[in-house]
Amino acid sequence: MRDELAIVLRLVADGRLSPEDAAPLIDALGRSTGGGTPAGETRRAPASTSGDGPRQLRVRVSERGRQVVNLRIPLTFADTALRMVPGLSDEQGDRIRAAIAGKTTGTILDVEDEDGDGVVISME
């Protein structure tokens, strides 16, 4: 399944597939490996007090203050997806992996430069 996820993420990165169109594909890949939302259920962000912990990694990218990517990735694919984020330092990747291992809910990384370009990575 990692190859299929890599293809979908590459299509989004190349602008050939919108994040909105990619989200159901990524969810379907997650269901086929036991992750993601079960068929027939709606997607909800878990409450921070839930004992289940986070289920997905959300990546939001903005350029010149405008959001250009809003992608949800099942945690089962998070490690693969992190390897494909351009400009992510080893330290930032380790910080995100530690948050995933610790089942942290909320914002993990929020980086923005003076031009309004930025990335927000959170777990829901």
| Cα–Cα dist 42/117, whole Å | 32
**Whether pTM exceeds 0.75:** no
The pLDDT assigned to 51 comes to 54
56 against 47, higher pLDDT: 56
* Residue 5 token pair: 């996820």
pLDDT at 24 over 70: yes
Does 110 have pLDDT greater than 80?
yes
Q: Which of 12-16, 17-21, 66-70 is most confident?
A: 66-70
Instruction: Judge whether residue 48 has pLDDT over 50.
Output: no
Contact 70, 124 (CB under 8 A): no
* Low-confidence winner among 40-44, 61-65, 96-100 (lowest mean pLDDT): 40-44
CA atoms within 13 A on the CB side of 41: 10
DSSP helix/strand/coil, 49: coil
